[in-house]
């Protein structure tokens, strides 16, 4: 498949490959959506909570995190904080796809496209866009992936809500373990360097150890202290780049990102995995190319 992206064939087979990949991602995220919807209502939340989160937030990882905090008895504030930390990475994503989230046909259309396009910025749509060469292809990939995911995600969450409400004893079906399993499956592929493995391991220990003593939700935020253990990013973060462009990377859309390099390390894979860590995981670190991926190779 990677060879297909690199080979300058006519546009058609590549579009077929794009549609197939988008289909696979939709399938994988659909399973996450089903699980999210079902586990949310099975945990005792009213049906509209997962549904409203999916429409208004549309970022799977943070939705799962927010519901996880609330189901564990945490305050809504802690849930919002956890979700917001997870979604902060959408800021550099927005810079990366800024050139396809706009329009040349006047200010009205430009703002309309921006307002809608902003909402469908996800790990997947960004990763798909960045691996295309040329702006029109990146635009097509971004919008195809983003809109498909929005539709599939909200439909499957709704379906999951119905499923979760229909089952009487969801614990008997092990539904409660699909929740952490999904998170693990989303996050594991992004633990590519020793530094992040140590940080994530330390964070997990901190969170579990503090759960018996702290109010729910706080142990999760305390896990960020794991970044203090063995995470090697601090020197780079604290040091100011000596020249513009040396320590930073312009992620605006003006610079043509397209070349014949796969932007994401060959992802999405063909085996039905969510591309960049699910609806929302943390995939940028490992694949979506650019600064995040390069900086992480400190093994």
List binders of another protein among 243-272 (CB under 8 A): 244-245, 247-254, 269, 271-272
Find the shortest distance in angstroms from Cβ 195 to another protein: 8
Q: Pattern of binders to another protein over 53-72, x per CB under 8 A? A: x--xxxx-xx-xxxxx-x-x
Binding of another protein by 154 (CB under 8 A) = no
- Cα 112 from Cα 134, distance rounded (Å): 23
Q: Give the Å distances, CA to CA, from 296 to 87, 124, 203, 262, 283.
A: 19, 19, 18, 17, 12
- Comparison of 201 and 262: residue with beta carbon closer to another protein: 201
Tell me the angle at which helices 175-187 and 60-71 cross, rounded to the nearest 10 degrees.
Answer: 140
Find the shortest distance in angstroms from Cβ 1 to another protein: 15
Binding of another protein by 146 (CB under 8 A) = no
Q: Of 180-239, which residues contact another protein (CB under 8 A)?
A: 180-191, 195-196, 199-201, 203-208, 211-213, 216, 219-220, 223-224, 226-227, 231, 233, 236-237, 239
| Cβ neighbours of residue 39 closer than 8 Å, sequence gap 6 or more | 67, 160, 164, 170, 175, 176, 178, 179
Find the shortest distance in angstroms from Cβ 111 to another protein: 10
Whether 152 and 29 have beta carbons less than 8 Å apart is answered as: yes
Binding of another protein by 106 (CB under 8 A) = no
Find the shortest distance in angstroms from Cβ 202 to another protein: 8
- Comparison of 14 and 63: residue with beta carbon closer to another protein: 63
Whether 65 and 86 have beta carbons less than 8 Å apart is answered as: yes
Find the shortest distance in angstroms from Cβ 3 to another protein: 20
DSSP tag of 250: -
- Comparison of 10 and 243: residue with beta carbon closer to another protein: 243
Binding of another protein by 292 (CB under 8 A) = yes
* Tally of CA atoms within 13 A in the half-sphere of 71 that contains its CB: 20
Classify 37 as helix, strand or coil.
helix
- Cα 183 from Cα 277, distance rounded (Å): 9
Q: Of 20-49, which residues contact another protein (CB under 8 A)?
A: 27-28, 31-32, 35, 45, 48-49
- Comparison of 11 and 208: residue with beta carbon closer to another protein: 208
Binding of another protein by 102 (CB under 8 A) = yes
Whether 32 and 274 have beta carbons less than 8 Å apart is answered as: yes
């009213």: which residue's tokens? 46
Q: Of 81-100, which residues contact another protein (CB under 8 A)?
A: 82-99
- Cα 61 from Cα 67, distance rounded (Å): 10
Find the shortest distance in angstroms from Cβ 216 to another protein: 8
Q: Pattern of binders to another protein over 157-186, x per CB under 8 A? A: --------------xxxxxxxxxxxxxxxx
* Tally of CA atoms within 13 A in the half-sphere of 284 that contains its CB: 21
- Comparison of 15 and 298: residue with beta carbon closer to another protein: 298
């Amino acid at each position: 498949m990677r060879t297909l992206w690199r080979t300058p064939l006519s546009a058609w087979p590549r579009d077929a490959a794009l549609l197939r990949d988008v289909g696979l991602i939709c399938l994988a995220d659909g399973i996450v959506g089903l699980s999210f919807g079902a586990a949310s209502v099975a945990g005792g939340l009213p049906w509209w909570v997962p549904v409203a989160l999916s429409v208004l937030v549309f970022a799977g990882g943070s939705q799962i995190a927010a519901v996880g905090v609330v189901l564990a008895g945490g305050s809504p504030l802690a849930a919002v904080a956890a979700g917001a930390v997870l979604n902060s990475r959408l800021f550099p994503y927005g810079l990366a796809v800024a050139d396809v989230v706009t329009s040349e046909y006047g200010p009205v259309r430009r703002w309309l496209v921006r307002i809608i396009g902003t909402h469908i910025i996800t790990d997947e749509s960004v990763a798909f866009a960045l691996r295309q060469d040329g702006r029109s292809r990146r635009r097509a990939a971004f919008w195809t992936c983003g809109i498909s995911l929005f539709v599939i995600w909200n439909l499957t969450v709704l379906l999951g809500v119905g499923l979760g409400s229909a089952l009487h004893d969801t614990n008997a079906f092990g539904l409660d373990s699909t929740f952490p399993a999904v998170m693990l499956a989303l996050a594991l592929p992004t633990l590519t360097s020793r530094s992040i493995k140590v940080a994530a391991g330390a964070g997990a220990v901190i969170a579990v150890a503090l759960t018996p003593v702290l109010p729910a939700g706080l142990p999760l935020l305390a896990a960020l202290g794991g970044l203090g253990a063995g995470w090697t990013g601090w020197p780079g973060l604290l040091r100011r780049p000596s020249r513009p462009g040396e320590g930073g990377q312009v992620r605006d859309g003006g610079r043509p990102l397209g070349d014949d390099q796969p932007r994401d390390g060959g992802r999405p894979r063909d085996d039905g995995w969510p591309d960049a860590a699910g609806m929302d995981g943390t995939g940028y670190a490992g694949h979506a190319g650019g600064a995040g991926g390069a900086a992480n190779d400190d093994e």
